[in-house]
Structure 1
Amino acid sequence: MNSITINNLVKNYEKFKLDNVSFNVNKGYITGFIGPNGAGKTTVLKSILNLIKKDSGDIKLFDKDLETNTHLLNDVGVVLEYQYFSNDWTPIDVEKAISNYYENWDSNTYINYLNKFNLDKDKIIKDFSKGMKVKLKIACALSHNAKLLILDEPTSGLDPVARDELMEILQEYISDENNSVLFSTHITSDLEKIADYIVFIKNGKIIFDGEKDDLIEKYLLIKGGLNSITSTEKKKIIGYREYNTGFEGLIKSEDKINFNEKLIFEKVNLDEIIVFLNKEVHYEQH
């Protein structure tokens, strides 16, 4: 069973379009959702959560059509980037406001997470740091026995220790193989630690959907001196850029045999893949 199944999702705006987006979030796994700013990540997440109306396509939660089964959203925990609590509320006020929306709200779990995150239940949110506000959202998302967590920039504003705590919580959350996470973030080092799958969106289109390790192994970073590469080789480089002392870019691993073996080839991380694929300009000779 898939926790999320999206087929040919389309959403049109004046200057942007989700273009037949399709991907799955597998049950029991963490799926990272990556792409440059403006790629369409938040639009996809809002479509899944029924916060905006799609133009066409199908969205299923737990193998059931969302349009006719909106009650399934009760089984989804959500952390969005924007602030959706009143600044005058305390965490206790937050619980009073949202607990009635979830059939399986667990007050004891909520209090336990407040304590774990060192959040004063009687302090008003206005006096919370950005990181504390993120922790409060996470506490809410994890307090109603959700089968699926949808996280939009959940680690933004958190210090390294708090981020590491969250990674542990997410790994514990999926350990029973029944729960799933869709995790959208610009902090790709977090995904490199815990994600099983990656969905990469660019300009409203999915350009990769598969296992994280397959994406990382698909590309290599290539470097060398300006005089050590031919114009033919340059044409195969993605995001080619020159410096005073040399060049660098991205190539497909399978293309390595077409390059001078004296060039430098290095493994890439997710950040580098996003940066170079976002350029998406292969070298052109002028």
Structure 2
Amino acid sequence: MSSASCAAVIRGVEKHYPDFTLGPVDLTVPKGCIVGLVGENGAGKTTLLKLLTGVNPADAGSIELLGSSPHTPAGRGDLGAVFDDAYFYESLTAKQIGKSMAGIFGSRWDSGEYRQLLKQFGLDEGKPVKAYSRGMRMKLSLATALAHHPRLLVLDEATSGLDPVVRGEMLDLFLDFIQDEDHSILISSHITGDLEQVADSIAYLHQGKLLFQEEKDVLLSKYGILRCGAGDLAALPGECIVHTRRTDFGCETLVKGREEVLRLLPGAVCDPASIDDIMRFTSGRDKQ
């Protein structure tokens, strides 16, 4: 995929800490798409997003952001970011925050859009941030990320702490955002069911390494959960088997190449695997 067709291109990016290493990571965010970033706690998701947005510098590799760099005014102006751990001063009101954002973004800041988003999210612009719940603070962050009309949204657990109804509203908003084919979203989330609803592709970060980035529909059709006896399992080629859990009742196995498994074991129970299943079995494999 050419860089011209991508909102973000990450090549060989690394970040080193005394107790953790991220990368090298290669990841792309195509224009007009939602990429879901998944991984266990401590996998490096927030670290990667902060490198992409220029919050922290990478130790190696390159990052291209909408044909520019996250460290240039053009790149930052086209970017809207929401981080799980980034909140505003608690004494400020949403109205005061809007005025501050107008000073930062200048002519790109759309005060009318910001007020509309506050109304849509049910936020009182006169209340201080300290009076907001966690979910309300996340919605305030999202309003500030959208009100300067970015082309790329980078969201770190943006639906976390929201009730199912509001989460549904957020997901609809994300889908509306990418109706403009020049818009894109990279979103990390532990709520993988949300990503199964809206993401076009899934990138799986595990222990600092990107294990894969695949189209969601292809991914979910490729993996399966096979339930069978040890004898049937032995009939499968090794490359089909990701990890097996053995119980008193048989084997439960994450397999890759579900259609091939069903061909080799006609009549076997091999249900489609969810993103949660893929993460759970991969983690179990590495703990052995």
TM-score (norm 1): 0.91
Contact (CA 8 Å) 2:262, 2:270: kept in 1 or not? no
How far the C-alpha of 1:97 sits from its partner, in A, is 2.5
How far the C-alpha of 1:127 sits from its partner, in A, is 1.4
Give distance in 2, aligned partners of 1:250 and 1:178: 37
Contact (CA 8 Å) 2:262, 2:268: kept in 1 or not? no
Which residue identity lines up with residue 30 of structure 2 in the other structure?
A: N
- Other-structure match for 2:178: 174
- Does residue 100 of the first structure (1) align with residue 103 of the second (2)? yes
Relative distance call for 1:188 and 1:107 in structure 2 (3 A) is: same
- Other-structure match for 1:22: 26
SS of alignment partner, residue 150 of structure 2: coil
- Does residue 273 of the first structure (1) align with residue 264 of the second (2)? no
Alignment deviations for residues 130-162 of structure 1 (CA, whole Å, 9 cap, x no partner): 111111111111100101100000000001110
How far the C-alpha of 1:242 sits from its partner, in A, is 2.7
Give distance in 1, aligned partners of 2:49 and 2:14: 13
Relative distance call for 1:275 and 1:70 in structure 2 (3 A) is: farther
- Does residue 217 of the first structure (1) align with residue 221 of the second (2)? yes
Which residue identity lines up with residue 49 of structure 1 in the other structure?
A: T
Which residue identity lines up with residue 265 of structure 1 in the other structure?
A: C
- Other-structure match for 2:257: 253
SS of alignment partner, residue 114 of structure 1: helix
- Does residue 84 of the first structure (1) align with residue 87 of the second (2)? yes
- Other-structure match for 1:75: 78
Superposition map of 1:184-195 within 5 A: 184-195=188-199
How far the C-alpha of 1:209 sits from its partner, in A, is 1.4
Q: Which one of the candidate residues 196, 201, 205 is aligned to 1:197?
A: 201
Give distance in 2, aligned partners of 1:145 and 1:178: 11
Contact (CA 8 Å) 2:236, 2:261: kept in 1 or not? no
How far the C-alpha of 1:277 sits from its partner, in A, is 1.8
Greater mean alpha carbon deviation, residues 231-240 or residues 248-257: 231-240
How far the C-alpha of 1:56 sits from its partner, in A, is 0.8
How far the C-alpha of 1:20 sits from its partner, in A, is 1.4
Q: Which one of the candidate residues 155, 162, 176 is aligned to 2:159?
A: 155
Which residue identity lines up with residue 119 of structure 1 in the other structure?
A: L
- Other-structure match for 1:61: 65
Give distance in 2, aligned partners of 1:248 and 1:259: 17
Alignment deviations for residues 43-86 of structure 1 (CA, whole Å, 9 cap, x no partner): 1101011111211100001122445x354111111110014211
Contact (CA 8 Å) 1:91, 1:136: kept in 2 or not? yes
SS of alignment partner, residue 87 of structure 1: coil
Greater mean alpha carbon deviation, residues 272-281 or residues 87-96: 272-281
SS of alignment partner, residue 181 of structure 2: coil
Relative distance call for 1:95 and 1:276 in structure 2 (3 A) is: same
Contact (CA 8 Å) 2:38, 2:204: kept in 1 or not? yes
Give distance in 2, aligned partners of 1:52 and 1:282: 31
How far the C-alpha of 1:230 sits from its partner, in A, is 5.0
Contact (CA 8 Å) 2:14, 2:21: kept in 1 or not? yes
SS of alignment partner, residue 88 of structure 1: coil
SS of alignment partner, residue 43 of structure 1: helix
TM-score (norm 2): 0.90
Q: Which one of the candidate residues 193, 212, 228 is aligned to 1:208?
A: 212
Give distance in 1, aligned partners of 2:224 and 2:141: 37
- Other-structure match for 2:51: 47
Question: Percent same amino acid among aligned pairs?
Answer: 35
SS of alignment partner, residue 4 of structure 1: strand
Runs (5+) with no aligned partner, structure 2: none
How far the C-alpha of 1:231 sits from its partner, in A, is 5.2
SS of alignment partner, residue 148 of structure 2: coil
Alignment deviations for residues 82-121 of structure 1 (CA, whole Å, 9 cap, x no partner): 1421111111121122221113111100100111111111
